[in-house]
């Protein structure tokens, strides 16, 4: 199988890496932050960064040929895990069906450069 780099309009890394990589049915994202697609600036609050981050997740999985329904696992890093309510609000909007949500692991991390949250995901696209 051939590995394919995935790029999504409105999202990019500062380093020369794609937003995600697909091989066969598997799609793995790189790190996804809550940045404004027009300016690249981080959202001004945790809530804003969550909204922006999940919008990027949607764009990236779609650029890889899937939908959010193909996401099987997300890993989330937060400066303050006690503020998961902001994350859960957007999580429930994207994955409203409790019988069809992906797995998620949320960890405390010391994030740099104004980041309050970041994530990555794995999707299986049929």
What confidence tens digit (pLDDT) does each residue in 12-40 have? 988 999 999 999 999 999 999 999 999 99
Beta strand pairing call for 26-29 and 117-124: antiparallel
Which residues on neighbouring strands pair with residue 29, listed in sequence order? 20
Mean pLDDT, the chain, rounded, equals 97
Task: Return the pLDDT at 107.
Answer: 97
pLDDT at 14: 84
- Reading phi first (left if > 0) and then psi (alpha if -120 to 50, else beta), residue 66 is in beta
**Run of H or E including 78:** strand 71-78
What pTM did the predictor assign? 0.96
Q: Which residues, given as ranges, of the chain have pLDDT below 70?
A: none
pLDDT given for residue 70 in this prediction: 98
Give all domains of the chain, ordered by start, each with its CATH number: 3-124 (3.30.1330.40)
Cβ-based neighbour number of residue 25 at 10 Å: 13
């Amino acid at each position: 199988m051939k590995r394919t780099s995935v790029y999504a309009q409105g999202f990019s890394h500062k380093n020369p890496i794609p937003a995600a990589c697909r091989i066969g049915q598997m799609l793995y994202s790189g790190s996804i932050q809550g940045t404004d697609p027009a300016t690249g600036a981080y959202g001004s609050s945790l809530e804003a960064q969550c909204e922006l981050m999940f919008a990027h997740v949607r764009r990236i999985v779609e650029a890889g040929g899937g939908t959010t329904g193909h996401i099987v696992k997300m890993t989330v890093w937060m400066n303050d895990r006690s503020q998961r309510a902001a994350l859960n609000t957007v999580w429930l909007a994207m994955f409203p069906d409790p019988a069809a949500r992906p797995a998620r692991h949320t960890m405390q991390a010391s994030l740099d450069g104004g980041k309050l949250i970041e994530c990555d995901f794995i999707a299986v696209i049929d």
